[in-house]
Structure 1
Amino acid sequence: MAGPKYFPKWLLNCKEDITQTKEWNAFLLELNDAIQQQLTQNHVQYFTDLSDAEKELFMQRATKAIEGGAAFQNMYGKVSMLMDQHLNEDVARQLMEDSPLDTKTDLVVEGAEEGVVSLLKKWPEMKSKLHVCLNQPLAQPIRQLSWRLFLTNPKVRKTYIDLLNGNPRSAISPLDLEISQKCEQLLISEPTFFNIKGSVGAFYAMKATLSYHHALQRTNSRLRDTDYMLVVPFVEVTSPGLSRREPAPGKVVALMVEEFLTFLDTRPGFMLDSGSETEFEEMKGFAQKVGSILQELYPNLASAISDAYLPAREKIVATESGSQVLLKEGLTELLRPIVRSMLVGYLKMETLLYVWDNYVIGLDAPGFSTEWLAVVCATMLGLMQDKLKEAKAPAAMENVIRRESPLLAVPQFQYEIKRHHYRNLYSLLTADQKAAMPVLDPTQAIHPPWRHWYNDLIPPYTKPQDRRRAREEREAERERVQQQKREAETQRREKEERERKRGEDEYMSAVSAERARLEEERREMQRQLQEERYRREQAEQQAQEQIAMLRREVEALRHKPKSPAPSVFSVGSYISRVLIPPPPTPASGMSQPVLSTIQESRTPVRTPSRQATPAKQTLSVVLDFLGKIRHSMDTIAHGDGSDRQRLDRETDGFIRQNVEDLKQAQVEVFGHRLQPGEFESLTAQQQQDSSDKMMQLMQRWREDRRAQELASRR
C-alpha cells in the first residue's frame, strides 16, 4: 500500500478534515445500508466473505444507488469546498514563506496537477476520469502519466528489458546506422521539431526505439517514413526527463518502447501503410466521414476540393455522377499522408500534442479515436478554407496544407470543436460510463433475521413489471427534480454573471473617472511647472542683464583717463562731495577758512577696507540665489527628514514592483522568462512589438493597483 508520502500535504489534510465531517458520516451510513441490503438479497452473511471482485461490484452498485441522494450531494459539496480551501491555504503559505517567483494561479495549477498525478499513481483505474479533459491540452506531468496509463503493456516492456539484460545485440536493427542518420537528419530539417533539435538524449531515445521496432520485424526492408514521424511525439513527451548532452537512460527508453509499440498495435486500419485492400477501404470510409463534416459545416470548401480533383476523376464521374464520389476520392488522396503520420510534421508541436492528448484519453472508448481524428482533420481543413479555395489543383492544395497548417493554434481547434462537435464527442467518450449499472430496487426492504420473523411484517410480493414501472416513475421524477435543480442553478449562475458584469462595469467606470482625475491633475501640474519655469527664466535673464550692465560700468571706470594736475579746488571739491559735508554758509556764523576745514576733516577719517567689486558682488548674489533655488527644488523632490526616508522606501518598493511586472509581462508575451541575449536575438520589429505589448500590460497593472489603493482608502 502506498504511503502518504506520495500525496501532497494539502491533500492529506483535506482527507483528514473530510473524514471528520457530519456529511461524510451520513454518506457512510447510507452506503453501509445499501451494501447491507445487497448482502441480504444475495443471502451473504458478512461482507468479508466476498472476494475482492465481488466487494468492488457491491461497492459500485451501492454507490450508484445513492449517487443521486441528498447524502451523496452534501458530501460531494463538502469535499469540493474543503479541497478548494486547503489548496488555497497551501498556496498562500508558499507565497508568504517561500516567496516564489510564480504567480498564485501558477501555484494553484501546480498543486492541482500534483494532486491529480498522486491520485492516478495510487489508483490507475481512475484514468477514465481524464475524460473531463476532452478538448483541452494536458499539463506536462499529467500528459506523461496519462499516456503511460492508456498505452501500458507490461509484456512489451518486459520483453525489451530481458533482451537488454540477456542479448543486447538482438535489440538493435541491422540497419541501425541508417536509422541513426535518418533520425538525425529528420530532427535537424523538420521545423516543427524545434524543441528537441540538438538534444542528444532525444536523438538516442528515438534511434533506440526505432531500431528495436525494426529488429522485431526481422526483415531487411527499411522502416517506413511514417514510423519516423510517429515516434516523435513520444520523444517530445519524454524530453523533460532526457539530458540534452547525454544519451537517454535504459529505463526511459524501455517506457518509450512500450508506449510506442502499444500505440502502433492500437492504430485504426486507415492509419496503416501496408497497402492492403481492407485498409484502403477503411481509408475511404474515413474520408467519407470527413467529407460529411465538410459538407455540413464548410460546403464551399467541399465544392472546392471536388472541383480540384475533377480532372483526375473524369472516368469516375462518368460512371458515378455526383460530387460525393469526387469529394471522397479527393479527400482520400489529400488526407492519406496526414492521417498515416497522425498530423506529425503538419502541426506545430503544441497543437500536435493537444490532438494526441485527446486521442490517447479516448483509447478506451470504442469508436472515439476514429471520430476524433475525423473531426480534427475536418476542422484543420476548415480553418484553412480561405487558402484552400484559391488552389485549383491537388498539388496546390497539398502545398497550402504544408505551408499553413503549422500556423494553426490550439485555441482555434478548441473553439471550432466546442462549437460544433463537443457534445457528440463527449457522449461517445462517456458512453460506457453511462451504461446501466445494476442498482438496488428500493421496493425491496431489508429482510429481518429469521429469529425475528414473527415480530416484523414480510414485504408484499410485487411483480417484476410493477417494480419496473415504479422504478421508471421514480427515475422520471428524479430526472424532473434534477432538471429543475439544473435550471435553478443555471438561473443562479446567470444572475451571478450579470451581477459580476455590473460590478465590473461600475469598477471600470470608477477607474476611468479616477484616471481622468489623475490626468487632469497631471496637466495642472505641468501647467504650473511651465509657469514656474518661465518665471525662473525671466529672473535669470534679468540677472544676466544686470551682471552685463555692471560689467560694462566696471570696464568704463577701469579705462577712464586720469587728470594730469588736479587743482586744489578740484581736490577739495571731490573730497567735500565724497568724504565731508558741504562747507557752511556765511549765515551759519562760522568764519574758519575752507582749507582749514578740509584739513580738520581729514584728520579723523581712516582709510576704508578693501571691498569686492560690483561685478563680484552681483555674481555672489546670483550664485547665492541659484543655490537657494536648487536647495528648494531638492527638498521639494526628495523631501526632508522622515519624509525623505519614507519617500526612499516607497521608491524602492516601486522599483521592485516594476521589476516583478517586467518579469510577469515577459511570461504573458513570450510564454516564459527571457534568457540573457534572447531579446537581442529578435528582429527590430519583433523587439518593438514585444516592448509595446509589455509596456501596455505593465501600465494597465499599475493603473489597476492605483485604482485599488484609492478604492481602499475610501
Structure 2
Amino acid sequence: MAVTQGYPKWLLNCKEDITKSKEWSIFLQELHDAIQQQLTESHVQYFTDLSEPEKELFMQRATKAIEGGSVSKNVAGKVTNLLDQHLNNDVAKQLLEDYPVDTKSDLIIEGAEEGALSLLKKWPEFKSKLHICLNQPLPLTIRQLAWRLYLSNAKLRKRYVDLMKSDPRSAISPYDVDISQKCEQLLLSEATFSDLKGSVGAFYAMKAVLSYNHAIQRTKTRVRDMDFMLVVPFVEVAAPNFSRQEPAPGRVVAMLVEEFLTFNETKPGFITDSGSQVDNEEMAAFASKVLTILEKLYPEVTRTIGRAYVPDKEKIVATEKGSQAVLLDGLTMSIRSVIRAVFVGYLKMDVLLYVWDQYIIGMDVPGFGTEWLAVAMATLLGLLQDKLKECNSPSELDSVITQESPKLTIPQFQYEVKRHHYRELYAMLTKDQKAAMPVLDPTQAAHPPWRHWYNDVIPPYTKPQDRRKAREEREAERERLLQQQKEATDLRHDLEERERREEEEEYTRAAAAERFRVEQERLLLEEQLYQERRLREDNERKAQEEIELLRREVDILKRTSKPIKSPTPSVNSNMSYMSRVLLPPPPTPASHYSGTNGLPPILESPGRTPSRTHTPQQQTENVVLHFLSKVRKTLDNIAHGEGSERETLERETDKFIDQNIADIKRAEAQVMGHRLQPGEFDSMPYEKQQEISDQMMILIQKWREERRAAELRQSRQSL
C-alpha cells in the first residue's frame, strides 16, 4: 500500500476531498461562529489575544457546542463516506494491479490499521481511542505502538542513553553473570516461552534490561525472580525488531528499558508484593475483589478453595476467624504467585499478551488495571472450575492452576468477559470521555445552558481600559516568558557548543596522541626493516663472496688437473690432484700394500662391481649445487623463519587469507545484495565490473582499518 510522508496515499486523498467538500466549509463557518460567541461572552476582541491553553479550551468548547447539531452530523457522514470510498478504491486497485494473496477483507483491515497507526504516531494524545479495542487482542503493529505510547517516559530513556554513552560499565549489575545464567535457563526451560527459545537477541535484550534495572537500584540483594518473568512480555512484543542470531540493537534495548521501568513505577502494590504493610493491604483488597466475582459467577470455585483450606468446621472455631476470612486467606495464597507474575508462565504467550493488552490500554484510567486483573484472575479460576473441584489440598490447587492454565484460549476469556464484565469495564474506560463540557450556544445545547456551572460566581463587569490594561499585561508576561525561553535556549545552545568544543578538543588530543604513537611504531618498524635488510644484504654479500671464491677455486682446479694415466692407479700414482682430494678411485688388487705412513690397506670387494668414478667437472658441479642449496635454504629460513616462528607465520598468513575471503564474500553481499554466482561477474560489462570492484575494495579497506584500530585499542588496554 502506497505511503507518503508516513500516511497512506488513500488517507491523504481522503483528507483532500474532505477539505474541498461543502459540508466541511459549513462546519468551519459554524465553528468560527461558536468561537466568536465565546470571545464576545468573554469580552475578548481577538482570538490571537488568547494564550495557547486558552485557544485550545475555546476550540474544545466550540467543538462540543456544535457536536450534536446537524452540521456536525453532516460532516461526520461525509467523512465516513469518503473514508469508505477511498479505502475501497485503494484495495480494488491492489487487487487489479498487484494480485495479492490476501483477500479483500484482509486488505481493508490492513489499510485501516495502517491509517490508524499513522494518525496515532502524529497525534499520540488520541491513544485513548484504543479503548474501543477492549476485550480484543491487538494486532502486532498496533500492540507495539500502543505499549510504546502508554509506557513512554522520555526521562527514563534519556537517563539510560546518557549512562551508556558516559559510563557503560555502571549500567551492568554486579550479578550480571547470575542474571545471564537465569535468563538462559528460563528461556530454555519454560514451555510458554517457546517463541523465544534459542533467540540470541531475546536473551541479550532480557539480560541487558534486568542488569540495568538492578544496577540503578544499587542494592546488594539479587534480582527478584518475578522480574525475570515480568520482562518477558516486553521482549516478546519487541522480538520482530531484532534478529534471533545477533544481540538486540541499542535502540531496541533502550525502548525495552523505558517500557519496563515505566511499568515497574506504575504497577499496583499487589504485583510488587514486597512484604510491606501497604502491599499486603493492596493484595488483600485485590483478593477481596476476586472473591466477590467468584461468589457471584463461579460459586463452585469458592467452595473448592474453602474445602482445601478449611477441611472441617472445628478448625474454623479454633482459629477464631470467620469462614469468609479463612476463605479470603486461602484465595490469597492460591493467586499470589499468579498475580505477582501477572500471569507470565501460567498462560500461553498469545493469551498472556491479550490479558496485558487490556491492562496497558487502561493505564490512563485510574483503577481500571486493578479491576481488569481481578476480572482476568476470576475468569481463569472460573474456566478451571471443573478441574479444581477435584482438589482437596492447597498443593493440588497450585498444581492444577500451573498445569491447566496454559491450555486456556483467547476465545474462552473473551466469551466470559463479554458475557459478564464488558459493559462495566467499557463504561469505566469511557467515563471521562463522556463528561459534559460547558455549551455556549443555546441552539445547539442538548440541556439548558450552563447547567453544570450555575454555582459559579459571575465575573464582574470590566471597562475597556481595564481589559486593554489586562491585555497589555498578558502581552508583557508573554514576552517575558518568551524572553526567558529564548535565554534558556541560548544558554542550552552555549552549553551544547561548549561541550561540543570540549569533545572536539579531546578528540583532537586523542587523535594527535594516536598519530604520535602510530608514527613511533612506524619508525620502529622502519628501523627493524632497515636492520633486517642490512642483515639480508650482508648474508647475500657473504654468500656471493663464497660463491666467487668457489668459482675461482674451480677454475684453478680445472687448470691444474691432468688426465688419469692408469685405470687402477695406486696411492703413489700420478693421478690428478682432484682425484686424490675429492673422491678416491674404487679399490683394486694393486691397492693392497702397506704404505710408509702406516695406513691400513684398502680391502678388495670381489663380489661387487666397482662403481663409476665421477669426473672432476661433475664433482665440482655437485659441490656448487650443494652449496647453492645451502644458501637457498638459509635465505628461506631468513624469509619464513624456523620452528615455532615458521608455524606462527603460516598460521597468521592462513588467518589473513581466510579473513580476506570472508571480507570478499561480505562485500559481495553488501554491494550486490547477494552472493555472486559462478560466471556472473565475467558476464557483466567492463565498466560494471570496475565499479563493483572499486566499491568492494573500499568496503574491504574500511573493515581492515577498523580491525586494525580495534587491535591497537586492545593492545593499549592490555598495556
Bucket of the pairwise TM-score, normalised by the shorter protein: 0.5 to 0.7
Cα distance in structure 2, aligned partners of 1:266 and 1:81: 41
TM-score, normalised with respect to structure 1: 0.61
Structure 1 residue 254, shift from structure 2 partner: 0.3
Correspondence 1:255 to 2:255: yes
**8 Å CA contact retained: 1:201, 1:245:** yes
- Per the alignment, residue 66 of structure 1 pairs with 66
- Per the alignment, residue 126 of structure 2 pairs with 126
Correspondence 1:48 to 2:42: no
**8 Å CA contact retained: 1:164, 1:171:** yes
Correspondence 1:421 to 2:421: yes
Structure 1 residue 246, shift from structure 2 partner: 0.7
2:196 partner letter? I
Correspondence 1:158 to 2:158: yes
Query: What does 1:71-90 align with in structure 2 at a 5 Å threshold?
Result: 71-90=71-90
- Aligned in 2, Cα 1:465/1:6: closer, same or farther, shift over 3 Å? closer
Cα distance in structure 1, aligned partners of 2:9 and 2:134: 28
Q: 3-state DSSP class of the match of 1:135?
A: coil
1:331 partner letter? L
2:188 partner letter? I
Name structure 1 gaps, 5 residues minimum: 446-461, 470-714
- Aligned in 2, Cα 1:125/1:467: closer, same or farther, shift over 3 Å? closer
**8 Å CA contact retained: 2:438, 2:452:** no
Listed one character per residue, the Cα deviations across residues 557-584 of structure 1 (whole Å, up to 9, x for unaligned) are xxxxxxxxxxxxxxxxxxxxxxxxxxxx
- Per the alignment, residue 358 of structure 1 pairs with 358
Query: What does 1:137-286 align with in structure 2 at a 5 Å threshold?
Result: 137-286=137-286
**8 Å CA contact retained: 2:27, 2:71:** yes
- Per the alignment, residue 109 of structure 1 pairs with 109
- Per the alignment, residue 31 of structure 1 pairs with 31
- Aligned in 2, Cα 1:48/1:321: closer, same or farther, shift over 3 Å? same
Listed one character per residue, the Cα deviations across residues 175-228 of structure 1 (whole Å, up to 9, x for unaligned) are 111101100110010011111111111111111000000101112211111000
- Aligned in 2, Cα 1:45/1:176: closer, same or farther, shift over 3 Å? same
Cα distance in structure 2, aligned partners of 1:313 and 1:261: 47
Cα distance in structure 1, aligned partners of 2:274 and 2:170: 25
- Per the alignment, residue 566 of structure 1 pairs with none
1:173 partner letter? S
- Aligned in 2, Cα 1:151/1:317: closer, same or farther, shift over 3 Å? farther
- Per the alignment, residue 491 of structure 1 pairs with none
- Aligned in 2, Cα 1:119/1:275: closer, same or farther, shift over 3 Å? same
1:159 partner letter? R
**8 Å CA contact retained: 1:192, 1:349:** yes
Cα distance in structure 1, aligned partners of 2:232 and 2:276: 26
Cα distance in structure 2, aligned partners of 1:228 and 1:155: 24
- Aligned in 2, Cα 1:343/1:304: closer, same or farther, shift over 3 Å? same
Cα distance in structure 2, aligned partners of 1:295 and 1:109: 40
TM-score, normalised with respect to structure 2: 0.61
1:247 partner letter? P
Cα distance in structure 2, aligned partners of 1:273 and 1:424: 27
Percent identity between the two aligned chains: 67
Cα distance in structure 2, aligned partners of 1:236 and 1:66: 45
Cα distance in structure 1, aligned partners of 2:70 and 2:449: 29
**8 Å CA contact retained: 2:440, 2:449:** no
- Per the alignment, residue 463 of structure 2 pairs with none
RMSD (CA atoms): 2.2
- Per the alignment, residue 308 of structure 1 pairs with 308
Name structure 2 gaps, 5 residues minimum: 456-719
- Per the alignment, residue 297 of structure 2 pairs with 297
Cα distance in structure 1, aligned partners of 2:209 and 2:312: 40
Q: 3-state DSSP class of the match of 2:20?
A: coil
- Per the alignment, residue 21 of structure 1 pairs with 21
**8 Å CA contact retained: 1:134, 1:426:** yes
1:286 partner letter? F
Structure 1 residue 317, shift from structure 2 partner: 5.0
**8 Å CA contact retained: 2:200, 2:245:** yes
1:206 partner letter? M
Cα distance in structure 1, aligned partners of 2:115 and 2:450: 45
Cα distance in structure 2, aligned partners of 1:251 and 1:430: 34
2:68 partner letter? G
Structure 1 residue 321, shift from structure 2 partner: 5.3
- Aligned in 2, Cα 1:76/1:98: closer, same or farther, shift over 3 Å? same
Segments ≥4 residues shifted beyond 6 Å: 462-469
**8 Å CA contact retained: 2:270, 2:280:** yes
Cα distance in structure 1, aligned partners of 2:415 and 2:449: 51
1:46 partner letter? Y
Query: What does 1:638-649 align with in structure 2 at a 5 Å threshold?
Result: none
- Aligned in 2, Cα 1:30/1:180: closer, same or farther, shift over 3 Å? same
Query: What does 1:558-577 align with in structure 2 at a 5 Å threshold?
Result: none
Structure 1 residue 319, shift from structure 2 partner: 5.3
**8 Å CA contact retained: 1:348, 1:407:** yes
Listed one character per residue, the Cα deviations across residues 494-528 of structure 1 (whole Å, up to 9, x for unaligned) are xxxxxxxxxxxxxxxxxxxxxxxxxxxxxxxxxxx
Structure 1 residue 323, shift from structure 2 partner: 3.4
- Aligned in 2, Cα 1:335/1:314: closer, same or farther, shift over 3 Å? farther
- Per the alignment, residue 370 of structure 1 pairs with 370
Cα distance in structure 2, aligned partners of 1:23 and 1:318: 77
**8 Å CA contact retained: 2:442, 2:449:** no
Correspondence 1:8 to 2:11: no
**8 Å CA contact retained: 1:317, 1:326:** no
Cα distance in structure 2, aligned partners of 1:313 and 1:153: 53
Structure 1 residue 438, shift from structure 2 partner: 2.5
Cα distance in structure 1, aligned partners of 2:322 and 2:89: 65
Structure 1 residue 9, shift from structure 2 partner: 0.4
Listed one character per residue, the Cα deviations across residues 119-143 of structure 1 (whole Å, up to 9, x for unaligned) are 0110010001111111111111111
**8 Å CA contact retained: 1:313, 1:326:** no
- Per the alignment, residue 642 of structure 2 pairs with none
Cα distance in structure 1, aligned partners of 2:412 and 2:342: 18
- Aligned in 2, Cα 1:183/1:9: closer, same or farther, shift over 3 Å? same
Structure 1 residue 232, shift from structure 2 partner: 0.2
Structure 1 residue 402, shift from structure 2 partner: 0.7
- Per the alignment, residue 383 of structure 1 pairs with 383
**8 Å CA contact retained: 2:196, 2:202:** yes
- Per the alignment, residue 615 of structure 2 pairs with none
Cα distance in structure 2, aligned partners of 1:199 and 1:249: 14
- Aligned in 2, Cα 1:44/1:195: closer, same or farther, shift over 3 Å? same
1:79 partner letter? V
Cα distance in structure 2, aligned partners of 1:108 and 1:301: 44
**8 Å CA contact retained: 2:151, 2:262:** yes
Structure 1 residue 313, shift from structure 2 partner: 9.8
- Per the alignment, residue 340 of structure 2 pairs with 340
2:207 partner letter? K
Cα distance in structure 2, aligned partners of 1:361 and 1:81: 29
- Aligned in 2, Cα 1:217/1:312: closer, same or farther, shift over 3 Å? farther
**8 Å CA contact retained: 2:226, 2:340:** yes
Structure 1 residue 378, shift from structure 2 partner: 0.4
Structure 1 residue 439, shift from structure 2 partner: 2.2
Structure 1 residue 22, shift from structure 2 partner: 1.9
- Aligned in 2, Cα 1:245/1:271: closer, same or farther, shift over 3 Å? same
- Per the alignment, residue 600 of structure 2 pairs with none
2:166 partner letter? G
Query: What does 1:565-644 align with in structure 2 at a 5 Å threshold?
Result: none
**8 Å CA contact retained: 1:61, 1:440:** yes
2:218 partner letter? R
Query: What does 1:666-681 align with in structure 2 at a 5 Å threshold?
Result: none
Structure 1 residue 464, shift from structure 2 partner: 7.7
2:49 partner letter? D
Correspondence 1:328 to 2:301: no
- Aligned in 2, Cα 1:403/1:60: closer, same or farther, shift over 3 Å? same
Structure 1 residue 111, shift from structure 2 partner: 0.9
**8 Å CA contact retained: 2:23, 2:74:** yes
- Aligned in 2, Cα 1:432/1:444: closer, same or farther, shift over 3 Å? closer
